[in-house]
């Protein structure tokens, strides 16, 4: 697992927490911010996955 995969997963989890807090608190801004952060984390994790595939020669 490389640093992009780890950082991406962390951001994804933080985003999910923010999104859930926004739903619970009925705060649309926080909900949207969490959703964006979650998706950015998914993208970063995907970049890390690609890097790993390249290293493995796949």
3-state secondary structure the chain: CCHHHHHHHHHHHHHHHHHHHHHHCCCHHHHHHHHHHHHHHHHHHHHHHHHHHHHHCC
Contact 4, 52 (CB under 8 A): no
Range of the domain at 39: 3-56
Write down the pLDDT at residue 26.
98
Task: Say how many domains are in the chain.
Answer: 1
Write down the pLDDT at residue 27.
98
pLDDT band at 58, cuts 50/70/90? low
Write down the pLDDT at residue 45.
97
Q: Residues 1-37: pLDDT tens digits? A: 999 999 999 999 999 999 999 999 999 999 999 999 9
Write down the pLDDT at residue 51.
95
């Amino acid at each position: 697992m490389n640093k992009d995969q780890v950082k991406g997963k962390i951001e994804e989890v933080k985003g999910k927490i923010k999104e859930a807090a926004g739903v619970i608190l009925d705060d649309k801004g926080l909900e949207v911010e969490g959703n964006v952060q979650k998706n950015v984390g998914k993208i970063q994790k995907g970049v890390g996955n690609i890097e790993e595939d390249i290293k493995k020669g796949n």
